Amino acid sequence: MRAAHRRSPKWRSDLSILYSARGVRGFGDGFAIVLLPAYLSATGFSPTQIGFIAAASLLGTAALTLGVGLIAPRHDLRNLLLIGAGLMACTGAAFANFEHFALLAVVAFLGTINPSTGDIGVLVPLEHAMLARGVADKDRTRAFARYSLVGALSMAAGSLAVAIPDFLVSNGMSETNAFRSMFYFYATLAAVSAGLYHYLPRARMDSKETHAPLGLSREIVFKLALLFSLDAFAGGFVVQSLLALWLFLRFDLSLAQACLFFFWSNLLSAFSYPVAARLAQRFGLINTMVFTHIPSSICLIAAAFAPNLPTVLILLLVRSALSQMDVPTRTSYVMSVVTPEERPAAASVTAVPRTLAASASPVFAGALLASAVPGLPLVICGILKIGYDLSLLFAFRHIKPPEEQVAARREG
C-alpha cells in the first residue's frame, strides 16, 4: 500500500510542486548571489566590508542548514518549508531597505542568500526529505536527478537576470533603486515559493524509535560527511573562477572564449544528472559515483599537462560531462541509507562540512597558481578526488540502498 501511495497521481503532483519551487528559488539565487556584492559596492561599502558580509552569509547559511536539519524530525516539513520561504522573503526585503553595515551583516548571517551556490540552505534538507518521502525507492535517484537539473537550469536562467538593473538604469532609474527592485523581486519569488509549498501535504517525521535527529545511522552519516568533505576540499582547488584564471594565465584565453567554454561546461554538467540516474539504475549508486568521477579526475590531471588550448578545453569539457554525475546519486544514496526520520539531519550534516571544506582550498590554489607550476592545483584536485573515490568504494560498496538489495535478491 505504501509503494502504491507513493506512485499515486497525488504524489506525482506533489513532486511537481517541489520541482517548481526549486526552480523558482534557483532563479532568485541565480541573480541574487551576483547582484549582492555589486549592490553593496554601489552603496559605498569597501571590498573588506563586502568580504565580511559574504563570510557572514556563508557561515550563517551553514549554521541554519545544520540547525533546521536537526530540528526537522520533531516538526512538520511543510510548516518548516513555509517558514523558510518567509525567511527568504524577509531577506530580500531587508537587503532592499537596510543600509547600515551591522544590520546588513546580521541579515546576511540570518538570511537565505548563499554566496557559495553550494548545496546548502535552510530549505535544502527539507526539500530533500520531502522529495525522498514522495517517491518509491526505485524512482528516488531519477527524482533527485530531475531536482538537480531544475536547480542548475533555473540558476543559469537567473544569472541572465543580472542584466535587468542595467536595463532599468538605461530607462531612467537610479542604480541603487534598480538593485533594490531586484531584491524586492527576490522577495516576490519567495512568496511564490511559499504559495507552492502551501499545496504540499503535511509530513511530520517523528518516530517512536528515536528522539535524536540522527540515531541508528549516525556512524554512516558521519563517515559520509568526512568523505564528502575531502571531495569538496579537492574541488575547491579548481572552482570556476580559479580555473578561468589558470586558462587566462597559461593560454591567454579571451573573455568571449571563457564565456562560451563555461556555458557549455555548465550545460554538460546539468544534463549529466539524468544520465547519472540511468547509470545508477543499471550499475548502482556507489559504482556510478566512483566510476564516473575517476575518469573526470584523470581528464583534469591530463589537462594540466596538455600542450595546447583545444586539447585542454576538450579534456575539461569531458570532465564537466562526468564530474557532476555524483550530485543526484550522492543525495539519493544519503537519503537511502538512513531512516525517513533521519533524512533532514543527514542532508544537513553531509552538506554543511562540504561547503566549509570547499571554502578553505581556494586560498592554497591561488598561491599555487602564482608558483612556477601553475597547473599544480589541477593535479592536486585530481589526485585528492581519486583518493576520495577509492575510499568511498572501499567503505560503502557493501552498504546498498533498498532498490539495489531487491535487485540483488532477484538475481540471486
314 and 184, same structural domain? Answer: no
Q: Domain holding 385: CATH number?
A: 1.20.1250.20
Q: Could you give the number of structural domains in the chain?
A: 2
**Residue 387 within any structural domain of the chain:** yes
158 and 283, same structural domain? Answer: no
159 and 48, same structural domain? Answer: yes
**Residue 209 within any structural domain of the chain:** no
Task: Report the 3 state secondary structure along the chain.
Answer: CHHHHHCCHHHHHHHHHHHHHHHHHHHHHHHHHHHHHHHHHHCCCCHHHHHHHHHHHHHHHHHHHHHHHHHHHHCEHHHHHHHHHHHHHHHHHHHHHCCCHHHHHHHHHHCCCCCCCCCCCCCHHHHHHHHHHCCCHHHHHHHHHHHHHHHHHHHHHHHHHHHHHHHHHHCCCCHHHHHHHHHHHHHHHHHHHHHHHCCCCCCECCCCCCCCCCCCCHHHHHHHHHHHHHHHHHHHHHCHHHHHHHHHHHHCCCHHHHHHHHHHHHHHHHHHHHHHHHHHHHHCHHHHHHHHHHHHHHHHHHHHHCCCHHHHHHHHHHHHHHHCCHHHHHHHHHHHCCCHHHHHHHHHHHHHHHHHHHCCHHHHHHHHHCCCCCCHHHHHHHHHHHHHHHHHHHHHCCCCCHHHHHHHHHHC
248 and 182, same structural domain? Answer: no
Domain span at residue 161 reads: 2-197
**Residue 69 within any structural domain of the chain:** yes
244 and 108, same structural domain? Answer: no
Query: Cell 538537480 identifies what position?
Result: 148
Q: Given this model, what pLDDT does residue 273 score? A: 94
Q: Given this model, what pLDDT does residue 410 score? A: 75
What's the CA gap between 353 and 227, in Å, rounded?
Answer: 10
159 by Cβ neighbours in 10 Å (0-12 / 13-18 / 19+) ranks as middle
232 and 151, same structural domain? Answer: no
Q: Given this model, what pLDDT does residue 5 score? A: 44
298 and 189, same structural domain? Answer: no
- Tens of pLDDT along the chain (412 residues) come to 344 444 556 667 889 999 999 999 989 988 888 788 888 888 888 878 887 888 788 788 888 888 888 888 888 999 999 999 999 999 999 999 998 999 999 999 999 987 765 567 889 889 998 998 878 888 999 999 999 999 889 888 888 888 898 899 999 999 999 999 999 999 999 999 999 999 998 876 555 444 567 778 889 999 999 999 999 999 888 877 688 888 888 898 886 788 788 888 888 988 999 999 999 999 999 999 999 999 999 999 999 999 999 999 999 999 999 999 999 999 999 999 998 888 988 999 998 888 888 878 887 888 888 777 888 999 999 999 999 999 999 999 999 999 888 777 777 6
